[in-house]
Structure 1
Amino acid sequence: MEADIITGRTFGKNEADALFQEGTVFDKCVFGGGTFTALLLHGIILLDCRFTGCDFSLSAFANTAMDGVTFSGCKMSGTSFGERNSTHRLSASFTECIFDNAVFLHITADAVFRQCRMHDTAFESCNLKGVLFDACDMQGSSFTDNDLRNADFLTSFGFTIDPETNRLNGARFSQSSLPGLLAKYRIKIENP
């Protein structure tokens, strides 16, 4: 089956959902205000695309490649990225997106998360080396068996990371994030 290649198109609200078929390549496309809820986005390739104000809630990006993709003001609650027994590359930036209850599984990310809300988001078995989490509200988010070397959490808050099950060499954290790094030890951290 030959892949459909869609280049340089601009899609308005709900114009593209039928086009998200396995093997489709979107190159330098712009998507604005689309509702793509509960979709299985399997085997799609997104190259230098831009999504603004789109809703991907409860969707799954499975075996989907992203390179140079930007998401701004998008809702991704309950969305899953990746799948078990397979590693996927995610080169993307996310600004002011909502990821409540999202799952990142077995992905290799070259990503920036800026001012995102990531409540109860799970990261499992991901390569997140050097990823920037800038001013993200990560209340209740957890990290299990990830490579977080050189990741930057300096301005983010609310997460729980077990230093014994995640690689943290060179990762940056603020002093106020210590409770999230030491939570499993049930110690009290107080200011005198």
Structure 2
Amino acid sequence: MNYIVDKTFERVKFNEIPIEQGEYENCVFRQCDFSNIDLSEIKFTEVEFIACNLSMVKLERTAFRDIIFKECKMLGLHFENCNEFGLAFSFEDCQLSHSSFYRTKIKKTNFKNSTLKEADFTECDLTCSVFQNCDLAGAIFENTILEKADFRTSLNYSIDPENNRIRKAKFSILEISGLLDKYDIEIDSSI
């Protein structure tokens, strides 16, 4: 098995030049194109992905341990297929629309300035996670653990308090209607 450590990859088109199978530790991938490739069984530990395209990447048993994704395009990813052991990442300025986190345990995950339109968080554990300035239009929260999660600066979410665990979660008064969508009521904030 290949073990790659402390290496920086810049502008590599992994969809043309296949990525080596193995383990990557303390590496940086900058402006690389991974779109539509298979990252199955590869281990990434303390790796940064900056301005990369990872859309539609296959993630069967892929290990993401202490990963930073920054300014990445990550459409349609299935994080539920990742290796669960040590699964930990943060997202900043990323496009994660149509991605799935079904049944993942990703407590204390930071989502910052990211687009998560129609992302699936069904049965996901997001305890103490922070959604800072995120667009959650059409995102699915069903039987999701959102205890102590912070949504105060995010918008367009629709979360049913009866079908999700939201104890001590934080919400903005401006977006509180996202907790009442199922009742089909009108909230007038002009009064």
Post-superposition shift, 1:101? 1.5
Change (3 A) 1:180 1:14: same
* Distance change in 2, residues 1:163/1:62 (3 Å): farther
Q: Name the structure 2 match of 1:95.
A: 92
Q: Look up the SS of the partner of 1:94 in the other structure.
A: strand
Q: In the alignment, what sits opposite 1:122? A: 120
Return the alpha-carbon distance in structure 2 between the equivalents of residues 87 and 187 of structure 1.
40
* RMSD (Å) for aligned C-alpha atoms: 2.0
Alignment equivalent of 1:56, drawn from 29, 35, 54? 54
Q: Is the 8 A contact 1:87 1:106 kept in 2?
A: no
The whole-number CA distance in structure 1 between the counterparts of 2:2 and 2:104 is 25
> CA–CA distance in 1 between the matches of 2:60 and 2:129?
21
Q: Is the 8 A contact 2:119 2:140 kept in 1?
A: yes
Q: Normalization by structure 1: what TM-score?
A: 0.88
CA change 1:20–1:62 in 2 (3 A) is farther
1:127 Cα deviation from its structure 2 partner: 0.9
Partner of 1:47: 45
Structure 2 partner of 1:9: 7
Report SS of the residue matched to 1:179. helix
Match of 1:151 in 2: 149
1:130-149 CA-to-partner distances (Å, cap 9, x unmatched) read 11111111122121111111
SS of the residue aligned with 2:76?
A: coil
Q: Hey, what does 1:136 align to over in structure 2? A: 134
What SS is found at the alignment partner of 1:60? Answer: coil
TM-score by length of 2: 0.89
Find the counterpart in structure 2 of residue 112 from structure 1: 110
Unaligned runs of 5+ in 1: none
Equivalent position SS for 1:70: strand
CA distances 1:94-152 after superposition (whole Å, capped 9, x unpaired): 11001121111121113111101112212111111111111111122121111111111
| Number of equivalent positions | 187
Matched-pair contact (CA < 8 Å) for 1:81–1:107: yes
Q: Secondary structure at the match of 1:19?
A: coil
Aligned to 2:65, the other structure's residue is in SS state strand
Amino-acid identity (%) = 30
